[in-house]
Amino acid sequence: MTSESFNASVFLVDRQVEAGRGDRTAITGPAGGLTYAELAAHVAELATGLQSLGVRPEERVLLVMSDRPETAITILAVMRMGAVAVPVSTMYNGTELATLIRDSRARVVVATPEFAPTVQEALLGAPEVVLFVLTDAPDRRPAQSIRPTVRLWSDVLETGGQAGRTYDTWRDSSALWLYTSGTTGAPKAAMHRHGAIQDVYETYGRQVLGIRPEDRCFSVARLFFAYGIGNSLFFPLAAGATAILDPARPTPGGVIARVMEERPTLFFAGPTFFAALLASDAPDDAFQSVRLAVSAGEALPAEIYRRFTDRFGVDIIDGLGSTEALHIFVSNHPGRVRPGSSGTVVPGYEAKLLDDFGAPVKDGEPGHLYVRGDSVATGYWCRTATTRQVFQGEWLRTGDTYVRGEDGFYQCLGRSNDMIKAGGIWVSPMEVEARLLQHTSVGECAVVAYVDADGLEKPVACVVSAPGRTVDATELIGFCRDGLASFKRPREVLVLDELPKTATGKIQRVVVRQIAAD
């Protein structure tokens, strides 16, 4: 219902205080901790402070912030005062950031000190910004400028004083914009409603993760990703649990140290990071505290699942989510995992597979995956043509090709535009990659189409060797021929030092295709 009052910040924080959980830990980690009562007070203060500086409901506040308590407070305060939080990747350079600030029409930018120089550069190309709020660096105050006004975050908090009024947002009010470019294309903002935040908690958070107040959540994906903000903010706070926030850039060594120190019960990462953990010298009992690991971002190859669960003794549930859906809508379930499959449709969502002409495909046949559910974004900001292609009525076109078994389990065949037609038959890159990963010499791989001199597509494998191993291309092709229908085997194997990845750790297949073509 459009005009039902609902504020995601009140749902996530104030509700816990009202339920008598004020003294429980909401946030912990190396950058500091907060109880729910402290979090609620700071969120209210910052919301009031921002309002008193002229920040208005409905306008965008863009955040360039590492994962720390101030970031959670800022996101929640912006939502509480009815403005729209736009957390963006901290990996952009000044020019890229300026493009996003202009695109979002944000008049306010908030940053943590490590990104101050990038933001300062970006502001030269973003004339509409009137206020720049910087969280405190112990050794320096920000330089003042004529435009925009520069304020210290702690001063804004203090100005806020006693808690102000929550803006009367509705379920359908815009709460959060998340920029996505997929694996190609210019970033565009998926616009999410306040209600969608409760929706992802009720569907995936509660019914799949079974998250409870005793849980401690730690996510390798950062707060500026849809995956990360669900894992580190929406799910733990909605459940009255604890979020572990770490401002450091995640590396296998750093994450292992944090896991052993903070003892999370839920651990979230993507296949690339699980592979990196396997390649590290992490002790086998490093994940002792974890009751469940979650993988998303890309389909988790069965071989990485098997190696990780064998070595660390922790089960991984793989799931499929997207920025447009806000979180995961197809997933394996605790105790009901099928390795190599994305699982079944999460309660609260519906999925369908269609052929190229829009007709439903039978179980066992590949089709383009569409999903519907309440958490789906209202569209992309100022991208009408793309919005119409992707958001089709109630249905969201995911851009993935999947096959559904009779038992309702979905298996990823790849992005729809990554499928390879070899000898007139469709080949799933994922299927060939799953076979390659069974070979002990393969650490990571990506299979792409190479167009030969006759204009015909052939699968080519780009492979990174496993630590201490050497790849023998001929042997590897024979290994694939033994385990797959012959037409699916890679015709060539290229050994690379690393695979090109996006900021979110997804393989950039466009770049891999260029490498294969050269």
**Which range, of 188-196, 322-330, 487-495, 510-518, touches ligand 3SK by CB under 6 A?**
322-330
For ligand 3SK, the binding residue among 193, 327, 488, 513 (CB under 6 A) is: 327
Distance CA 353, CA 371 (A): 9
Whether the CB-CB separation of 346 and 340 falls below 8 Å is answered with no
End-to-end CA distance of the chain: 54
Smallest gap from residue 143 Cβ to ligand 3SK (A): 36
The two beta strands, 395-404 and 367-372, are antiparallel
Distances (CA, A) of 128 to 60, 104, 149: 12, 10, 12
Would you give the binding string for ligand 3SK spanning residues 246-285, x where CB under 6 A is met? ----------------------------------------
Whether the CB-CB separation of 219 and 211 falls below 8 Å is answered with no
Smallest gap from residue 274 Cβ to ligand 3SK (A): 14
Using the minimum distance from each CB to ligand 3SK, give the nearer residue, 167 or 380: 380
DSSP helix/strand/coil, 507: strand
Using the minimum distance from each CB to ligand 3SK, give the nearer residue, 157 or 330: 330
Q: Is 415 in the site for ligand 3SK (CB under 6 A)?
A: no
Joined tokens for residue 386: 């793309």
Smallest gap from residue 275 Cβ to ligand 3SK (A): 16
| Closest-approach residue to ligand 3SK (CB) | 321
The two beta strands, 328-331 and 344-345, are antiparallel
Whether the CB-CB separation of 263 and 45 falls below 8 Å is answered with no
Using the minimum distance from each CB to ligand 3SK, give the nearer residue, 201 or 227: 227
Whether the CB-CB separation of 128 and 105 falls below 8 Å is answered with yes
Q: Is 296 in the site for ligand 3SK (CB under 6 A)?
A: yes
Smallest gap from residue 258 Cβ to ligand 3SK (A): 21
For ligand 3SK, the binding residue among 16, 90, 322, 344 (CB under 6 A) is: 322
Smallest gap from residue 501 Cβ to ligand 3SK (A): 13
Would you give the binding string for ligand 3SK spanning residues 213-232, x where CB under 6 A is met? -------------xx-----
Smallest gap from residue 327 Cβ to ligand 3SK (A): 5
Determine which helix (DSSP H) or strand (DSSP E) holds 464, and give its type and residue range: strand 457-465
Q: With contacts defined by CB under 6 A, how many residues of the chain interact with ligand 3SK?
A: 10
Q: Is 242 in the site for ligand 3SK (CB under 6 A)?
A: no
For ligand 3SK, the binding residue among 328, 353, 448, 484 (CB under 6 A) is: 328
**Which range, of 64-72, 306-314, 323-331, 334-342, touches ligand 3SK by CB under 6 A?**
323-331
For ligand 3SK, the binding residue among 142, 321, 429, 443 (CB under 6 A) is: 321
Smallest gap from residue 328 Cβ to ligand 3SK (A): 5
In sequence order, which residues have a C-beta less than 8 Å from that of residue 265 and are 6 or more positions away?
A: 214, 215, 216, 217, 289, 290, 291, 292
Q: Please give the backbone phi and psi of residue 66, each rounded to the nearest 5 degrees, phi first.
A: -75, 170
Distances (CA, A) of 470 to 293, 363, 439, 478: 30, 40, 11, 16
- CA dihedral angle for residue 449, residue 453, residue 455, residue 456, rounded to 10 degrees: -50
Using the minimum distance from each CB to ligand 3SK, give the nearer residue, 51 or 232: 232
∠ CA(501), CA(414), CA(274), 5° rounding?
A: 50
Q: Is 132 in the site for ligand 3SK (CB under 6 A)?
A: no
Binding residues for ligand 3SK, per CB under 6 A? 226-227, 296-297, 321-323, 327-328, 504
